[in-house]
Amino acid sequence: MKAGIYFTGSGPIVILTTYDSLTNPYLINRLHSKGIKKFIAFEIPEYLAKQKYGHHYDAVMEDVKQEDYLRVIDFDGHHILAKFSFKELGEPIYYES
């Protein structure tokens, strides 16, 4: 699994995906279908997402309503920025369609 924080027009979201990169064309299509056409993404280690979200991470992984190609862990921008330091983020990935 890959984990990433996407800074979108409506705020940041934390996602997990089974795709090989945060800009995989199939993942981009999924994001487009949700109205996300421009973003700055940062890859984060999956273990760090699991560590920071604990039981919520496990609940998201067990949620049968979400697919492995796109599992949203968090969409509360204030909560996300409180959990992660910028020092924990990888290099920025810029995308716009």
Alpha-carbon distance values, 33 to 26, 49, 58, 68 (Å): 11, 24, 25, 16
Q: Which residue has the higher pLDDT, 95 or 60?
A: 95
Per-residue model confidence as pLDDT tens digits over 17-34: 999 999 999 999 999 999
Number of structural domains found in the chain: 1
Instruction: Provide the domain limits for residue 13.
Output: 2-96
Average pLDDT, the chain: 93
DSSP element (H, E) containing 61: helix 55-62
Which pTM value belongs to this model?
Answer: 0.90
Does the pLDDT of residue 13 top 70, yes or no?
A: yes
